[in-house]
Amino acid sequence: MPNDHYRILCTRPIPASLITDAAGHGIDIQVKEFIQISPIHIPELQQHVISENIPMVFTSAHAVNILKEMMGTTIINFPICSISGNTRTAAEQAFPLSNIIAAAPYGIELAHAIIQRGDIKAVNFFCGNIHRKELPEALTSAGIRVNEFVIYRNDPLPEKVTGHYHGIFFFSPSAVSSYFSANSIAADTVCFAIGTTTAAALKIATNNKIIISTNVDANSMVQASITYFNNNNS
């Protein structure tokens, strides 16, 4: 294991245990948020949600946590369709009485999983004001009614960064846009992307090396950086 220490900028909060794990491998993770999440109040949301016993669809852990807060003490036990990783984990923790009936790493794959079940006629899709359209469009094209609830805002929070980082963690295209609106990066800085969608945004923003995590969760991002820097003592 190299004795060098590497500095990584993480563009959203991650569990302290992961930061400690990385430190044990010579990697110093510093967190600075580049996206501000703000709940959007929807009148009579509870009534809308519980009026039909139809699956809930999530492509964001933010949507899960915000819906849980908005529903308060209301018991939720509707089936859940969720992308994998952090979002599925959040859904299982927030709604323990609900069953995960469809899951996939990305939105379009989740849409296909929902369609392939053949028994879903309508869904409640909870999302932010910025989200990809492939999932609702695919479901609608397949004859599945999509009740879309925009329950949070995803606003850029750009900030000028000083100092050199060996790597930067990006968890969404929005974070990529926010970061590069105020910053450039050194030629040797490695960009870590949580998935192919974020990687695609990075390819537009920079020519730097991009590493995509094996799974769409924070732990996979940290492990990807540990593997990379332990094997590339640059």
**Residue given tokens 């563009």 in the structure block:** 11
pLDDT tens across 32-84, in order?
999 999 999 998 888 888 888 899 999 999 999 999 999 988 888 999 999 99
pLDDT tens across 110-143, in order?
999 999 999 999 999 999 999 999 999 999 999 9
Residue 234 reports pLDDT greater than 70: no
| Type of residue found at 86 | N
Element (H, E) at 18: helix 16-23
Task: Tell me the pTM.
Answer: 0.89
CATH 3.40.50.10090 placement within the chain: 6-34+162-231, 37-154
**Dihedral sign (CA 185, 154, 69, 125):** negative
CATH number belonging to domain 6-34+162-231: 3.40.50.10090
Using alpha carbons only, what angle is made at residue 203 by residues 60 and 225, rounded to the nearest 5 degrees? 70
Residues facing 150 on adjacent strands: 127
Whole-angstrom Cα distance, residue 219 to residue 214?
10
- For the segment(s) 37-154, the CATH number from 3.40.50.10090, 3.40.710.10, 1.10.8.10, 3.40.309.10 is 3.40.50.10090
Q: Are 74 and 50 spatial neighbours (Cβ–Cβ below 8 Å)? A: yes
pLDDT tens across 101-115, in order?
999 999 999 999 999
